[in-house]
Amino acid sequence: MRTDTGQVINLADYRPTDFVLERVDLTFELDPTETKVEARLIFHRREGADTTAPLVLDGDELSLYSLLLDQNELPAEKYTVTPETLTIPDLPASVPFEITVTTIINPEANTQLMGLYRTGGIYCTQCEAEGFRRITYFPDRPDVLAVYTVNIIADKEANPLLLSNGNFLGGAGYGPGKHFAAWFDPHPKPSYLFALVAGDLGVVEDTFVTMSGREVALKIYVEHGKEPRAAYAMDALKRSMKWDEDVFGREYDLDIFMVVAVSDFNMGAMENKGLNVFNDKYVLADPETATDTDYANIEAIIAHEYFHNWTGNRITCRDWFQLCLKEGLTVFRDHEFSADMRSRAVRRIAEVRHLKAEQFPEDAGPLAHPVRPTKYREINNFYTTTVYEKGSEVTRMIATLLGRETFKKGMDLYFERHDGQAATVEDFVTCFEDASGRDLSQFSLWYHQAGTPLVTASGSYDPANATFTLSLEQMVPATPGQAAKEPMHIPLRLGLILDNGSEVEPTAVTGAELTGDVLHLTDRAHTVTFEGVSSRPVLSLNRDFSAPINLHFNQSPADLAHVARHETDLFARWQALTDLALPNLTQAARDAREGKPVTCDPVLIDALLWAAADHNLEPAFRAQALTLPSEADIARELGNNNDPDAIHAGRQAILTQIAQAGVETFAALYEAMLPSGTFSPDAASAGKRALRNTALTYLSYAENTPDRAAAAFAAADNMTDLSYALTILAHRFPEAPETTKALADFEQRFRDNALVIDKWLAIQATIPGAAALDRVKELQRSPLFNAKNPNRVRALVGTFAFSNPTGFSRADGAGYAFLANEILDIDKRNPQLAARILTAMRSWRLLEPVRADLAREALLQIERASGLSTDVRDIVERMLK
């Protein structure tokens, strides 16, 4: 493992390489513990570069076996080498030359899962961001693009399958018991998109005919016996390929597209050219083992990685500071895809819930950074929800500002102008300026200023003049390294809704630019006047979450209920219900903390039950409407001095009151929402299941017995219903014999399916209350747990820390102390995983003082440890600053 050197990389220091890499020829002789990698690299000195500059290649834990220059061995005094760098001076000034680097690496010992490693008897690679340098010495940076040929030699029986990027060239026997395969990728690519997979896997095959009539072979590789569970992923892949042609005009560009599912993977998946590698969690699904959420995630991630072929691969990033150029844009593309495949409004609600739950806390805490950062110590720590999800929102805002047509023109220009290049965020924005003629320099602050803008709004109606006046003020909070902020260009979609539910068409608007229903906020303060407003309107602001902001708008419960009932934008209806619920929940937390009785505003109960029973609304939407803000949402709303126990108790009390008031509605929904016929994972059926299970949750509060959930558990014929029933049992009635029995049944039934066992672990890790910690520790000793597998660790330890506020933040600090020990242990094997889980503590300063002190103690314990990885050291130091 690389321990920290304290080195910081700055965007301002970017400069191109002195040498241009023309082509790469790799030969792998695979062996579990001693793999030999020969890399033949043809370079020439860049025109205008210093003619005396040495060639400096990156490495990471490498040892050099041999080094040739133009096929002649280089004597040791002609270069210097460390595990991290190979430096070769005195290279030709103008003619191309060939460097042949041979390294020996140990895939079996690679527990970081970066570079070439072994998982379940399979060789596999992960090279983004800087994993290729763990395979061979190389100019391992995304602006070095080259054409690759890859030869793989391996034991034939153990590795019938030998895969790499591009098109298959050929293969044959290779000495006793061995064989080889050769692959050629004609598209120049950076090293982070390199991939190799070898082993023995089953395959699902299909084909896709592209818009110009080319047939592409599609292959999804999974463990033998799991082929039927890859059918949904294959279907999602074909739909993604078609959608990218229809919506973005993007055609696939190789003869073959492969997906490989592996069970040890640090992230979700990886877009290696023509050979995507996936965490098997995002490939494998069938009704018995996958929930509706799993299906939706598989669809989205298959699409995401496929879409990277154009946004990421054909056009890549100049440097890692530009990560959002490919990630933010590709998330936006996969969001649009899911919106087209499913219900747009329901998808938008899910996206915004996720953004607020994950990105808003990041942006409000010690790890806040701009979508386009300017410095980093460890790039792996910047694969964040800010870069991904806020990056997507920024792209969405460009589309909102310019309109769909002009946005499309800008995208077309981007594809045309930068194909084959390593581009920057500025290149991207310029395409939209050129396509629209609009100056986007102020808008670009969204890439550069961290922090969630706060917009404060107030409205007043003047009946005498028939005008509605809206005052708006924006403020961007200070974030680490950025004390003062400039006002941003904020696109606020809005509607003025009259008593009868119709919308006002103002005769004139002054005080800010309005295009369609988009109000352009550009100054610190605006006073906007709408003329020709015949009666008092109710304002719906930030429709569709057009801007990722916090909005302070003191709207009466009656006005919010009006929006919740009459908005044409369904997202805004959901938002209004949330805004109606939040003050109830925060007050409930305060009351619970002081031991006072909790009461729920009947306006909220009415609005929720009205939405629940409105048969014109799709079930999936109603399920979202009925799902109250989470405990984390309430904590965020309260701001600081948080007591997780009080927040939990208050929310439980509100849920109980809603449940009691709506018991008949919920009982009726529970009966009515049973999808008919055989199981189908489609969005409409999933919506029915979601509403039915939401009703079941409320019934568990109204009836306060485990009976109905236990019956649902026994009757379930799919994993969505089964895991939902188990969650209700475990979370609401942890001590009930029904719960003990259901947990044991579930374990027994799925003990051979690790991905399902992850659900079993996660459900138990999130049982509210102080006892959860002991259960987590006990589960760590279960033979079904495996501390070396990232999915298991995330399911148990990660879920506990991220999603169990009362358990993790128990008052004695034992949860934090536990996590500190876990982090130090995980860090020895897998720094990336350790650093990621540690971010669960990013909001520690918002806790009440006793807990905050205990949390700081745990962080200090990590900080004081010796031999920390750069990954963990970077996170812990930023969190303590």
Q: How far is the CB of 308 from Zn ion (least distance, A)?
A: 6
Rounded Cα–Cα distance for residues 720 and 712 (Å): 11
Structure tokens at 484: 């003062």
Please choose, out of 8-16, 330-338, 426-434, 752-760, the segment that lies near Zn ion by the rule CB under 5 A: 330-338
Q: Of the ranges 327-335, 347-355, 557-565, 649-657, which one interacts with Zn ion (CB under 5 A)?
A: 327-335
Query: In which element (H, E) is residue 640 found?
Result: none
CB of 305 to Zn ion, least distance (A): 7
The two three-digit tokens of residue 63, written as one number: 């040892």
Nearest to 750 by CA among 289, 397, 360: 289
Query: Minimum distance between the CB of residue 267 and Zn ion, rounded to whole angstroms?
Result: 9
Neighbours of 806 (CB within 10 A): 23
CB of 290 to Zn ion, least distance (A): 22
Closer CB to Zn ion, residue 163 or residue 303?
A: 303
CB of 396 to Zn ion, least distance (A): 16
Count interface residues toward Zn ion (CB under 5 A).
2
Beta carbon nearer to Zn ion, 55 or 301: 301
Query: At a CB cut-off of 8 Å and minimum separation 6, what does 553 contact?
Result: 456, 457, 458, 539, 541
Residue type, 115: G
CB of 424 to Zn ion, least distance (A): 18
C-beta separation of 729 from 712 below 8 A: no
* Beta carbon of residue 217, minimum distance to Zn ion (angstroms, whole number): 24
DSSP annotation of 78 reads G
Distance, in Å, from the CA atom of 28 to the CA atom of 11, rounded to the nearest integer, reads 34
Minimum distance from residue 330 beta carbon to Zn ion (Å): 5
The gap between the terminal CA atoms of the chain, to the nearest Å, is 25
Look up 157 and say whether it is catalytic.
no
| Smallest separation, CB 565 to Zn ion (Å) | 39
| Cβ(275)–Cβ(163) below 8 Å | yes
Based on CB atoms, which residue is closest to Zn ion, 279 or 330?
A: 330
Find out whether 635 and 846 touch, Cβ atoms under 8 Å.
Answer: yes
Cis omega before residue 129 (within 30°)? yes
Question: Coil, strand or helix: which one is 756?
Answer: helix
Residue matched to tokens 């995401």: 304
Q: Are strands 422-423 and 513-515 parallel, antiparallel or unpaired?
A: unpaired
List binders of Zn ion among 528-587 (CB under 5 A): none
Closer residue to Zn ion in complex, CB, 279/555:
279
In this chain, which stretch among 57-65, 329-337, 485-493, 757-765 interacts with Zn ion, using CB under 5 A? 329-337
**Set 223, 227, 305, 327: catalytic member:** 305
The Cα–Cα gap between 65 and 625 comes to: 62
List, as one string, the DSSP characters of 479-531.
Answer: BTTB-S-PPP-EEEEEEEE-TTS-B---SEEESSEEETTEEEE-SSEEEEEEE
Report whether 113 contacts 790 (CB < 8 A).
Answer: yes
**Rounded to whole angstroms, what are the CA distances from 847 to 362, 441, 583, 591?**
15, 38, 19, 17
Q: Of 119 and 276, which has the nearer Cβ to Zn ion?
A: 276
Q: How far is the CB of 663 from Zn ion (least distance, A)?
A: 45
Q: Which is nearer to Zn ion, 327 or 618 (CB)?
A: 327
The residue range among 294-302, 322-330, 731-739, 757-765 that interacts with Zn ion, by the rule CB under 5 A, is: 322-330
Would you say 330 or 642 has its CB closer to Zn ion? 330
Could you tell me which stretch among 324-332, 483-491, 573-581, 758-766 binds Zn ion (CB under 5 A)? 324-332
- Phi and psi at residue 201, to the nearest 5°: -135, 160
Cis upstream peptide for 576 (omega within 30°): no
Q: Which is nearer to Zn ion, 58 or 327 (CB)?
A: 327
Of the pair 312, 706, the CB lying nearest Zn ion is at 312
Cβ-contact 217, 234 below 8 angstroms: no
The answer to whether 321 and 372 are in contact (CB under 8 A) is yes
Please, what is the minimum distance in Å from the beta carbon of residue 206 to Zn ion?
23
CA angle 784, 785, 787 (to 5 degrees): 150
Residue 837: CB partners within 8 Å, gap ≥ 6?
793, 794, 797, 798, 801, 802, 819, 822, 823, 826
* Nearer to Zn ion among residue 79 and residue 332 (C-beta): 332
Max distance between CA atoms of the chain, in angstroms, equals: 95
Nearer to Zn ion, 291 or 316 (CB): 316
Radius of gyration of the chain (CA): 28
Planar angle of CA 616, 540, 604, nearest 5 degrees: 60
- Looking only at residues 441 through 500 of this chain, which bind Zn ion when binding is defined by CB under 5 A? none
And the tokens for 809?
């933040």
Q: Name the one range near Zn ion by CB under 5 A: 60-68, 126-134, 323-331, 532-540.
A: 323-331
* Secondary element (H or E) of residue 216: strand 215-222
Active site residues: 305
Residues that bind Zn ion (CB under 5 A): 327, 330
